[in-house]
A = this chain, B = another copy of it.
């Protein structure tokens, strides 16, 4: 990362506490009080609270007024189940993928500003055809921002025809995905896309652009997906 630049204290504290929680340092399931953390790290209470707040948002800890701060047993399960990738959406057993590309490319213009990267930066591009029951239903092009965590580059080495991208980001790299913005529109299949999906050029499809964000608001993923219009519907729950 950008270790040479001054990293905010609350962020370093957040990282360190997260590390400790994941390594089982607080075995009794209880974190020190705010006061104790202030003393241990020689920071003010607000700095401690800001770090703890992030852990709450990620679902790692839970705080109770008058009692203390506790590690959640099912760490963020609820958060994780809501925001899902294709594999989780459809069900692991029926879905297959064919990897068309898994390589470094220059950041595309639509992602440049959300990724907050300079022109010409390299990002991981993963292009896959998605199958359900051996029928091709979508072409998906995902761009992943390695500035969020360098281990994202490890994806290049993986066999992504079997792996779930979101599982790797969450479980292996430990990135907590908390929000996604999607834009859904109608589009016609290009000849290339039509060929990949075994359809005719010009057929209607659902085009979904998705920006996925981590708990600290960094955009880690930009996906452009083309779904067969005759096979797919999107369900949205608003409140």
Chain A positions within 8 Å of B, measured between CB atoms, are: 56-59, 74, 77, 80-83, 178-186, 188, 204-206, 213, 217, 229-230, 232-239
* Residue contact B183 to A204, C-beta cutoff 8 Å: no
Q: Which of A186, A204, A234 has the most CB of B within 10 A?
A: A186
Give min CB distance, A32 to chain B, whole Å.
21
Q: Which of B83, B180, B186, B217 contacts A186 (CB 8 A)?
A: B186
* Residue contact A238 to B74, C-beta cutoff 8 Å: no
- Sample of 7 more A-B contacts, CB < 8 Å, known A59-B179, A236-B236: A82-B239, A180-B239, A183-B234, A184-B184, A186-B204, A186-B230, A204-B229
- A-B interface, 10 closest residue pairs, ranked by CB to CB distance from nearest: A186-B229, A204-B204, A185-B233, A182-B236, A184-B234, A179-B239, A180-B238, A186-B204, A183-B233, A236-B236
For A59, the chain B residues whose CB sits under 8 A away are 179, 181, 213
For A236, the chain B residues whose CB sits under 8 A away are 181-184, 234, 236
* Residue contact B204 to A188, C-beta cutoff 8 Å: yes
Q: Which of B179, B182, B184, B206 contacts A57 (CB 8 A)?
A: B179
Which residue of chain B has the shortest Cβ distance to A211 in the bound complex?
A: B59
* Residue contact A205 to B186, C-beta cutoff 8 Å: yes
Complex: A205 Cα to B140 Cα, angstroms: 22
Complex: A217 Cα to B57 Cα, angstroms: 7
Complex: A238 Cα to B223 Cα, angstroms: 14
For A181, the chain B residues whose CB sits under 8 A away are 59, 235-238
Give min CB distance, A29 to chain B, whole Å.
16
* Residue contact A206 to B186, C-beta cutoff 8 Å: yes
For A185, the chain B residues whose CB sits under 8 A away are 206, 229, 232-234
Q: Which of B83, B183, B235, B239 contacts A178 (CB 8 A)?
A: B239
For A232, the chain B residues whose CB sits under 8 A away are 185
Which residue of chain B has the shortest Cβ distance to A179 in the bound complex?
A: B239
Q: Which of A178, A181, A229, A235 has the most CB of B within 10 A?
A: A181
